[in-house]
Structure 1
Amino acid sequence: KKFFVCHSSQIAIVMAHINLSENTKLENEKEPIPEEDAKPENAERREFMIKAGSVCLGGVVAIPPIAAGIAVLMDPLRRKQGDADFTRVTLLDALPEDGTPKKFTIYADKQDAWNKFPNTAIGAIYLCRKSDGKIDAFNVVCPHLGCAVVFRESERDYYCPCHNSAFDLETGTQAPDSPSARGLDSLEVKVENEGEVWVKFQNFQPGIADKKAIV
C-alpha cells in the first residue's frame, strides 16, 4: 500500500479551489439583474430629459401669444404722436356775419398710452366770420402762461385777465404792451359739405416766442 502525506498548506489550497468553484456556480445560477435595475441612473436621466423637453416645448408654444400680447401693449407707444385731425365744429350759418367771434368747445376722442376717452372736451376756440367770407380760428389759450382769453366787445379785442395781455381781433397779434411773447395761436379752418365748419385743433406751448405744437 502506498500512502500520500499532504501538508496542511496543500489542503488549504485545495479547499479554496473547491469553495471558489461552488461560489462561481451559485453566481451563475442566480437570476440575471435587468440592465435598467442595474443602472438606475439611466431611468433618472431619461425622466430628466423628458421633463426638460416638455419645458422647452411649452416655452416655444407660448412665444407667439406672448409676442402678440406685447405687440398689443406696445401698440399705443408705436403710434405716431402729434397728428391733429380736423374736427367738425359748427355750421357756417351759426357764425355772426358782422365779425363778432363766437366761442366753441372742441370735443374729440382723447387717448393716452392705453386708455381711450370718447367725446371728451380737449379745448376751446374762437371762430370769427369776416365780411369776405373768410373764417378765422384762434385757440382760446393765452400764449403767455396758458390762461384763457375772452372777447371784449367794448374794446373789440381778445383779452387775458390773468396778466392783461390783449390781442387784435382781426389778426390775433399781441398788443405792444402785452407780456405775451407771441400772438394768439391760429388754427386751420375749412368749410365742407355745404356749410360745415371744420377746424384742425391743436394746443401749443405757452411762454415761448415760437409756435410749437404740444405732442
Structure 2
Amino acid sequence: MTLSSLFYTFWHSLYRIFLTILNIRSYLFHPTLLFLELAYFCEELLSFFIFNPLRSKKISLPTYGTLPFFSMNKISPLLDISKDSTLLDLGSGKGKILLYYSLCYKCRCIGIESFSYFYRLSNMLSRLLFQHSRITWLNQDFFSYTPSSTCDIAFVSALDHTEHALRTLIHHYHDHVSTFVSLGAPLPSLDHFSVVSYKLPCSWGFSWIYIYHKKYV
C-alpha cells in the first residue's frame, strides 16, 4: 500500500467518524436509521472483498455517493414532504435517500437504478425494514422511464453525468417533476424554477446541494 493510499484511508476513516457524529440526532429520533447505517457498513466490508478482484482486473464498476442523514434532515424542511408526497431518485444507488424518506416521512418513493447489484441491495433492505409497500425499485435506465403521474421531488446526482446528459434528463422529466434536488452541481435548462443552494456534507466530502422549485404563475 502506497503512502497516498494510506493517507486517503486515514482521511476517509476520520470523515466517516465525523459523519457518524453528525448523524447521532437522526439515530436518536429514528433508531431504525442506525440499523440501516450498520447494514450499509457491513455491506461495504463484504463488497470490498467481492469487488476488489474485479477492480484489479480493471473492470469498470459504478461509483456510489449519497447524502448522510444529517444533510437530508437539513434540506427536508425546504422540500415540504408529507405522507402524500411522491419522491423519485434518478440513479438511486443503494437506496439510502429513499429509505430515509420512507422511514421518516412515510411517503411513496420510486428508485431507478441501472446497476443490478445496487438494485438488488436496495430491494433487500426495503424488505428487511418493511418499506417495500411504499418504495418501488426499477432496474432500468432512467431515460427510459416516464412517470405515470406528477412526482413532487426528484433527486439527481449531477456529478455522475455530462452537461448534455443532464439537459436530456431535464427535458425528459421537466413536465413531471415539481422540485429537483441536485447533488454536487447545478442543473441546466431550468429557467422556470427558483433555486436555493447549500454546502453540506456528502459521502465524498462537502459539496453544494441545489434545490429547484417550479414557479407557478
Calculate the TM-score normalised by the size of structure 2. Answer: 0.23
**Structure with the larger helix share:** 2
User: Which is greater in Rg?
Assistant: 1
TM-score by length of 1: 0.23
